[in-house]
Structure 1
Amino acid sequence: MRKAVIPVLFVFSLSANAQEKKSADTTKTNSIEEVVVTSLGIKRQARSLTYSSQQIGGDELTEVKTPNLLNSINGKVSNVQINRTNGVGSSVRVIMRGNKSVNNAQPLYVIDGIPIINGTGKSADIGQYSNMPDPGDVLSSINPDDIESINFLKGASASALYGSAGGNGAILITTKKGRAGKSSITYSSSLTVDRAYSLPKLQHSYLSYDPSVSGSQPGQAVDSWGAKGSSKDYLKDFLQTGTTWVNSLSFQSGNERSTSYFSIGNTTNKGVVPMSYFDQYNVSFRNSSKFLDDKLTLDANFIGSLQESKNRQTPGASFSPLTSLYWLPRGVDFDQYGADNYSYLDKTRFLPAQNWWEVNPDGSFKGNPVTQNPYWILNRNPVTVSNKNTYGALSLSYQINPWLTARVRGNYSWNISDSQRDIAAFSAPSLLANGTNGRMLKNTYENSSTYGDVLLIGSPKISESISLDFTVGGSINTTRNKIGQIDNAYLANPNLFTLNNLQWNVNRSPGDGYHNIYTNMKKQVQSVFASASVGYKNMFYVDMTFRNDWDSTLALTGRTGFDYESVGANAILSSIFKLPEVINFWKVRGSYATVGLGLPTNITNAMVEYSKGYVYGVDAGTIVYPKSSFATGAGFEALLPKPELNKTFEAGTELRLLNNKLNFDITYYNSNTSNQLLETTIPSYLGGLAPGSYYINAGKIRNTGFESSLSYKIFGSEKFGWTTTLNASANKNKIVELFPTSINVSQELTFPLTGGGDYTKLKLGGSFGDLYGIKFKRDDQGRILVNEKGVPLAEGIPSYLGNPNPKFIMGFNNSFNIGKLGISFLIDGKFGGKVLSLTEKANDIYGVSQSTADARDAGGVSIPNAVYAPGTPNAGQAYTGLTNAKDYYKAVGTTEGFGKGVDEAYLYSATTIRLRQASVSYMFDVNSKYLKNATVSLVGTNLFFFYKKAPFDPEQVSGNTPGGVGVDSFGLPVTRSIGLSLKANF
């Protein structure tokens, strides 16, 4: 019997202070004595750190509010990319210092020193037939008004104490506490109006038919390649002005022995798409109390939220009401299918039937329907998402003597996400999956985490020149995941979307939409770790850390424990040498660390139960998951399962000049992540393995780059102040290794997007996120080949198109104060990269894009640097004519996703420069009996682009998977928000 491991955590910090100074919590970057939150929630002086970290305060998060607090970070922290999915409440994708892992690129999230699970479920698919929206994440449910500060630990040295969870860095969130003194109440409210912009450019000057031809009528053709004419812009009338209202009320009180903080919040959003909404309710409580002559401190924290949304935008064409309006044949009168006319009562079945130009009078569809009535989608194919999140933590600290404290902490976090799509009878046959009474899809994701640690924290005095800070302890983290998925097209009673109305005893073929899957997974990590920081006379500091993790995922592999280390050093040159007076502080630093990423739950122990066991009508009982297993034959010994390993070196310098008004920080880093969890197909017997799909630990991804931050407090008086901050970073990503050559498998790995040969590919020598697709066919001189009609030819296999990740990122933040008047604005830019648009590709083939109208007006499409293809009458001769617009766009466009048509024609620059946010505020000093002061602000977000070439916002991704980055698949257009905010202190 395996003995239980009793972990002991050892964190050791040694620093030198000639004189102890008082330091208050702050997020300013111009103070040498700044205190920042580091791993395990331990606070340290910034001057002692041997690695880069960047901290921002809660006021910066709420200056211009966004429903998801991480969306407020863009442009404010160097080398942090934040990509949004679709709409309010959706998740965000956060990448720090480049993509490091094939399986999990997201950082670790920590609240008040304790790790949490951020995911709520599976990210949305992005194919044409995607049926579920992005379910959101836990951080999207946290009230930004409850945040004291967020610290970004971007490098391995900063996150090394988190071991197998810290491979992608860590984001440390510190929540607000009550303060001793007079009780206070704060109320804040923000109301913005939201308008969609950066919409696809659509044409309304060509019809779907020819009025001059007898019998030619609107709706006879599914596309708009007809005669010249005019049609109404129904999309403009369909979209509405959305509103976002964020309210928060907090109360804090306390004395020297006990402090409390309590808040409630609500976010209500009416989307720009009719009948779409989002509601969120937050509550938080934190109490800190001291006992036994202030030696015992109890800190309790609770955060809870409830989210409800309806008709959140789903990527893909099938369930997007916008697609129906994009592709609406020009000349068809949409008003007759509007909000009051989208359905009628079928006299045969006495059920609502769809009223649409593609539907026959008897309710059947004309052939294979392309779209549905957008109001039918919203009313009869609605999707709802419900998320519940709770987080509770308890910390007990006892001061054994003036330099030694014992601490016990624990937390329990739980979240559940329910998504349901109801597809009513008389919907498009392809969506009903051969059912006649309707179809019900339901996803349930439940996650929980139980964490506990024991720490011994000390700071014994070594000498006048040397002081010592240390922490020892141990931790256990247990996570549980439950997944339920239902897809049933056999309802006993029509349009009744309940579990009791589903039939499970009908045997149908795959593709009919018929399964019920339930999985239950558990994982535990037990850890010991240590750190030390040694300082001498405020001149030198040396950091060392060690951690060992025992991971239950590896319990059957013979080796469950893996260790991670780091070492770092800095020198405070301004304390060592006599420097010019203009230099107030100068530090140089360097560090090296190894951190990891654990394996997914159950990856080495394929024992997952399916509760009902029905898969396409067959009682499958217990099914093995995952379907692939690890390769364990001869020759695979070095590839046995193990955590991913990130080895990072970084070096940097920090300068404070001109009486600490000018601050500069720059870091260079080199990161190598190996032992990637890769799945490959072994085609023939090798090392005793039968042909099949296997997991292998192999591959290496390298990220190198720099990040910098420059801030200058140009003026700092109460009458006039101006502070400007510039963040800049660049990252280069490379796939250094993939599969070992000894196992004779393909040196590439693909992530399908929408099927049909379209994918993101990892290839040896390439970069993470590389997009592959069909290019124009060219001769050996790079000239495009056309047929005898001037229509361009396409290559037969996908090839490299580009990479969506920016080469350079910049944020330029300015804040002014003129007495009580405050003005701020943030400009950010992302430079480099390429993105693809499935939306434009489909709009072109239907002849509804503005580019197709422009081409018709011009008499055709000009194809630069083109020649006639071999085999044509004019083979090899230059083609200088105009290609018929319809022939051209029918050749390059498609509704079947990438890998068809010519993807290269829909490749755009990802470079953008935008005014991210701006605010103008005025504070009124009231100082009445009840009201202290109030601040009123005019605020705006996503105000406009200074530069953008892509027809969509490249920052908005279609899904939080590798295949969803850099791809536009009928997503929700970006919204511009302008409104007012009020903050009152009582």
Structure 2
Amino acid sequence: MRKAVIPVLFVFSLSATAQEKKAADTTKTTDIQEVVVTSLGVKRQARALTYSSQQIGGDELTEVKTPNFLNSISGKVSNVQINRTNGVGSSVRVLMRGNKSASSSQPLYVIDGIPIINSVGKSAEASQYSTMPDAGDVLSSINPDDIESINFLKGASASALYGSIGGNGVILITTKKGKVGKSSISYNTSFTVDQAYSLPKQQHSYLSYDPAAGQAPGVSNESWGAKGTSKDHLKDFLQNGTTWVNSLSFQSGTEKSTNYFSIGNTTNKGIVPSSYFDQYNVSFRNSSKYLNDKLTLDANFIGSIQNSINRQTPGVSFSPLVGLYWLPRGVDFDQYNNSNYYYIDKSRLLPGQNWWAIGPDGKFNGNPATQNPYWVLNRNKVTVNNKNTYSAVSLAYQINPWLSARVRGNYSWNITDSQRGVSAYSDPILITSNGENGRFLQNKYENSSTYGDVLLVGSPKLSEDISLDFTVGGSINTSRNTVTEIDNAYLAAPNLFTVSNLQWNVDRSVGDGFHNINYSTKKQIQSIFASASLGYKNMFFVDMTFRNDWDSTLAYTGTSGYDYESVGANAVLSSIFKLPEAISFWKIRGSYATVGLGLPANLTTAMIPYNSVYGYNVDAGQIIKPKYSLVTDPAFKELFVRPELNKTFEAGTELRLFKNRLSFDITYYNSNASNQLLALNIASNLGGLPSGSYYINAGKIQNTGFEASLSYKIFDSEKFGWTANLNGSANKNKIVELFPSRFNGLENQLLALTGGGVYTKLKLGGSFGDIYGIKFLRDGQGRILVDTDGKPMADKQIGYLGNPNPKFMLGFNNSFNIGKLGISFLIDGKFGGQVLSLTEKANDMLGVSQNSASARDAGGVAIPNAVYAPGTPNAGAAYTGLTDAKAYYKTVGANQEGAGIDEAYIYSATTVRLRQASITYTFDINSSVLKNATVGIVGTNLFFFYKKAPFDPEQVSGNTPGGVGVDSFGIPITRSIGLSLKANF
């Protein structure tokens, strides 16, 4: 039985700002008189808010640049968990206040008050047999130099006005506008060298063969041979990567009109040869006033193009590193290098793969899961091309001093096209039995969203003591998606990877290698909403919001729209009572809200395929029905599909002392996300429901925690300033309900999470993302059972191994200025949790890991707290001997799912690292051309103070609910050090 962990979520933010830093440049809880951007882009006074929010300035994102600016958030904002894929073009998974949904827990992103889509298609999974890479995300295409600030609305009270799209919290991005005054130009550049860091520990002291027995290298695909030395080819294979980020912006403005324009480029050469990412950005924003300044027009455009080669694909199938990890020790990799990885087969005049595991007959005679790394990169190459555009227009008319009307709209569009060509002579498993000419895979996703709303925003003063702020409006949000997925091993001409070269009219009854999906979906949400905030003497405030959504997904279910509400209140105690002079400000607050998460498009209706050049012939009236059915019998009304619902209560207080030099903020929250959308296969009559496959709503996921913030101006002068930020968080997650109560007997049933392979599950009473796998077989006293040879035995039933989510997160950010010299560093810690390494598991089995060599040096493996199993001659007796290293690791290790003993490869997820650091110096030039310039030395992921796992626990296989906590031959993280320059003209 697992011990319950009392959740404590502490958020500390020590903040001391040097005079030269703008207020928006540091992460902070909002100032007393500050006006902040809230839901729907409406500005409100910070002291009136009845919920917690946290803001980060644009300079915090660009101080040390990364290819995806969301990586720069980690450790700087409380209770925001950042996970990422590795390698070029990596995407980021953002989580606020814990996992809430089995569908997706990622937040809604809003640019200048208008929601956007962030998904680009299917994400990679934590499987050993993935075929396509993670394709990135839309947010990575935004130039961080264009961002003015980001506000994090983590709770339901803050995001309730977004209804069924705001259930996981909201991230509000405010982009830069032009400034009134003289035109100016800014140029920012950053160049870093990226070095592979935290590689699996490999052994080079034992060979794959025994020279004394007359054996030669390559006789075995395992490295359990004689003592001897071999070359570390992995270090020779990996290269130093580079990241170069450039941005040029121009701004101008008058009292009537301002303009902002920027272009940017990011080039990232990966640590793996032939891996590359290139991105171009452009943005433009104009704000103009008309009709005696009563009418304001705000127009914005953001566009980007991303091209990448050989993004990370999890698993063994298409990882270039597997062939090096598993290279039999003693085999000379130099004879298979980039200039020797192929030969020309004279019989077909095609490139053939040159590799130790391929015999003279061209057949694999070694481990079929490994290929020449250079062959994988050049002859199994994968390309991902993304295009993104976002355009928005807003009209605001000031009707009178306290009332304005606004009409806004945006159109966002993205298309991602991922293609992989698998050449003939590749691993037969990868090209299937019919792939003698190769194999072609393509994932193509086109997404668009059209959003429009009308708002009436007012702030009348009802009396000298009573104020009112209100918003009333409605919106329409329409999204369209077109999906093409192709996997075809029937190429007419060999190694020609085009759609026109694919054969569709073939007899597939005698083999495999064919997969084709084409369909499109459409969804619309129509909404009305309202909010009101009543204030009394600027010391009491009451907030209320209401939203009603009509979702087209439910159009044919007979279900009406759904309501979402919130209510909150606060009291400014420092204005109510006469407090000691040391207390500058004191506020208490509390709120309750319901917010939702809508259903996928066409969940309740058929999808319409489309005719295309991809060979999918659609007859008139042909449809693609959903894989799962809906429950429509009124007797099972509680199983009818409906949006997920998150009910949250939060309460907190904010205290500032010593003329606002010291501030403290603490929040408690409790959220319950119910109506989880589940896909169930019911084999027999269960709870009265006929057998079949169904979509149902059931389950409840609870998150409970505390948030706190401590802020203190330590030193603040022109000669010396010190800013210190301490952010921390902890969260308890529990699966309170899972299956409907009428489904008796499913209390111990496991439900797989999307993207988690066979490992991450949901179970009643457990926590989101629990890792399950094969455990050691133990007796009633918890002792490991071994056989006669001392080999540990495996439990036939999979069991709980751990949970990857941290119990506590901590970030300590410091910035110093000594005159014009600036120094900053960020220490980031994640405490608690467990992760699973499939990489280490396979490396151990093949005898290529350092663990396997150390065990041989020690004479074997000691198994603590072990006894002989029943049925052995010494049944019940303590086992105190050493188990042969090869026997042990071939028992617990494995290079396939469902084998070995996973429990042996569970590691602590706790890490403490120097996340980033920089040293800068500003030159005030003030010439007729150049105003000032700042040069600096920057670095990210510099080193770990503490880490036990053989990989970085923050790395994920993809942005899926179950993709966290399982390492499946991913690209190692990088340590980056370089130079930066910022020049203002």
Q: Is the structural similarity TM-score above 0.5?
A: yes
Q: Which piece of structure 1 moves more, 771-780 or 121-130?
A: 121-130
How do residues 511-910 of structure 1 correspond to structure 2 at under 5 angstroms? 512-609=512-609, 611=611, 622=622, 624-633=624-633, 635-685=635-685, 689-744=689-744, 746-747=746-747, 748-751=749-752, 758-897=758-897, 899-910=898-909
Q: Tell me which amino acid in the other structure corresponds to 1:734.
A: K
Deviations 1:834-855 (A, max 9, x none): 0000000000110000000000
How do residues 948-967 of structure 1 correspond to structure 2 at under 5 angstroms? 948-967=947-966
Deviations 1:235-292 (A, max 9, x none): 0000000000000000000000000000000000110000111000000000000011
Structure 2 equivalent of residue 411 of structure 1: 410
Aligned 8 A contact 1:30 1:663 in 2: no
Aligned 8 A contact 1:835 1:907 in 2: yes
Deviations 1:355-405 (A, max 9, x none): 000112232322662310000111111000000000000001111111111
- Report the CA distance between 1:559 and its aligned residue: 1.5
State, as a whole percentage, how many aligned pairs show the same letter: 77
Structure 2 distance, partners of 1:151, 1:789, is 60
Aligned 8 A contact 2:539 2:575 in 1: yes
SS where residue 713 of structure 2 aligns? strand
Q: Tell me which amino acid in the other structure corresponds to 1:839.
A: T
Counterparts in 2 of 1:616 and 1:404: CA distance versus 1, 3 Å: closer
Counterparts in 2 of 1:753 and 1:132: CA distance versus 1, 3 Å: same
- Report the CA distance between 1:753 and its aligned residue: 8.3
Structure 2 distance, partners of 1:619, 1:219, is 54
Aligned 8 A contact 1:508 1:616 in 2: no
Aligned 8 A contact 2:187 2:984 in 1: yes
Q: Structure 1, unaligned stretches of length 5 or more?
A: 1-22
Aligned 8 A contact 1:141 1:280 in 2: yes
SS where residue 855 of structure 2 aligns? helix
- Report the CA distance between 1:690 and its aligned residue: 3.3
Deviations 1:670-690 (A, max 9, x none): 000111111222232457753
How do residues 319-468 of structure 1 correspond to structure 2 at under 5 angstroms? 319-366=318-365, 369-434=368-433, 435-468=435-468
Structure 2 distance, partners of 1:672, 1:29, is 25
Counterparts in 2 of 1:794 and 1:538: CA distance versus 1, 3 Å: same
- Report the CA distance between 1:513 and its aligned residue: 2.1
Structure scoring higher RCO (CA < 8 A, sep ≥ 6) equals: 2
Structure 2 distance, partners of 1:838, 1:415, is 34
SS where residue 730 of structure 1 aligns? strand
Structure 2 distance, partners of 1:713, 1:24, is 12
SS where residue 635 of structure 1 aligns? helix
Counterparts in 2 of 1:623 and 1:907: CA distance versus 1, 3 Å: farther
How do residues 125-136 of structure 1 correspond to structure 2 at under 5 angstroms? 125-136=125-136
Deviations 1:122-176 (A, max 9, x none): 1112322211110000001110000000000000000000000111000000000
SS where residue 98 of structure 2 aligns? coil
SS where residue 904 of structure 1 aligns? helix
Counterparts in 2 of 1:373 and 1:604: CA distance versus 1, 3 Å: same
Structure 1 equivalent of residue 155 of structure 2: 155
SS where residue 72 of structure 1 aligns? helix
Output the TM-score relative to the length of structure 1: 0.95
Structure 2 equivalent of residue 271 of structure 1: 270
Aligned 8 A contact 1:771 1:802 in 2: yes
Aligned 8 A contact 2:75 2:827 in 1: yes
- Report the CA distance between 1:752 and its aligned residue: 6.6
SS where residue 235 of structure 2 aligns? helix
Q: Tell me which amino acid in the other structure corresponds to 2:716.
A: G
Deviations 1:837-883 (A, max 9, x none): 00000001100000000000000000011111111111111111100
SS where residue 642 of structure 1 aligns? coil
Structure 2 distance, partners of 1:749, 1:871, is 32
Structure 2 distance, partners of 1:600, 1:937, is 47
- Report the CA distance between 1:778 and its aligned residue: 0.8
Structure 1 distance, partners of 2:684, 2:326, is 47
Structure 2 distance, partners of 1:621, 1:896, is 43
Structure 2 equivalent of residue 925 of structure 1: 924
- Report the CA distance between 1:44 and its aligned residue: 1.1
SS where residue 714 of structure 2 aligns? strand
Structure 2 distance, partners of 1:727, 1:510, is 60
Deviations 1:642-673 (A, max 9, x none): 11110000001111112211121111000001
Deviations 1:160-195 (A, max 9, x none): 000001110000000000011111100000000000
Structure 2 distance, partners of 1:495, 1:412, is 39
Counterparts in 2 of 1:841 and 1:258: CA distance versus 1, 3 Å: same
Aligned 8 A contact 2:499 2:614 in 1: no
Structure 1 distance, partners of 2:646, 2:156, is 7
Counterparts in 2 of 1:772 and 1:668: CA distance versus 1, 3 Å: same
Structure 1 distance, partners of 2:745, 2:105, is 25
Structure 1 distance, partners of 2:861, 2:352, is 42
Counterparts in 2 of 1:24 and 1:541: CA distance versus 1, 3 Å: farther
Structure 2 equivalent of residue 969 of structure 1: 968
Aligned 8 A contact 1:568 1:592 in 2: yes
Structure 1 distance, partners of 2:846, 2:901, is 15
Deviations 1:719-759 (A, max 9, x none): 0000111111110001111112313362434227899x932
Aligned 8 A contact 1:682 1:745 in 2: no
Structure 1 distance, partners of 2:330, 2:622, is 55
Counterparts in 2 of 1:120 and 1:30: CA distance versus 1, 3 Å: closer
Structure 1 distance, partners of 2:25, 2:842, is 51
Structure 1 distance, partners of 2:30, 2:291, is 38
SS where residue 937 of structure 1 aligns? strand
Aligned 8 A contact 1:610 1:623 in 2: no
Counterparts in 2 of 1:69 and 1:509: CA distance versus 1, 3 Å: farther
Aligned 8 A contact 2:611 2:617 in 1: no
Q: Structure 2, unaligned stretches of length 5 or more?
A: 1-21
Structure 2 equivalent of residue 19 of structure 1: none
SS where residue 196 of structure 1 aligns? strand
Q: Which piece of structure 1 moves more, 662-671 or 169-178?
A: 662-671
Structure 1 equivalent of residue 176 of structure 2: 176
- Report the CA distance between 1:532 and its aligned residue: 0.8
The number of residue pairs the alignment matches comes to 961
Structure 2 distance, partners of 1:293, 1:88, is 50
- Report the CA distance between 1:509 and its aligned residue: 4.1
Q: Which piece of structure 1 moves more, 540-549 or 760-769?
A: 760-769
Structure 1 distance, partners of 2:713, 2:201, is 43
Structure 2 equivalent of residue 296 of structure 1: 295
Counterparts in 2 of 1:539 and 1:754: CA distance versus 1, 3 Å: closer
Structure 2 equivalent of residue 483 of structure 1: 483
Structure 1 equivalent of residue 306 of structure 2: 307
Q: Tell me which amino acid in the other structure corresponds to 2:752.
A: F
- Report the CA distance between 1:614 and its aligned residue: 9.4
Structure 2 distance, partners of 1:745, 1:610, is 43
Structure 2 distance, partners of 1:297, 1:620, is 50
Structure 2 distance, partners of 1:933, 1:549, is 51
- Report the CA distance between 1:461 and its aligned residue: 2.2
SS where residue 160 of structure 2 aligns? helix
Aligned 8 A contact 2:104 2:961 in 1: no
Counterparts in 2 of 1:70 and 1:245: CA distance versus 1, 3 Å: same
Structure 1 distance, partners of 2:714, 2:204, is 52
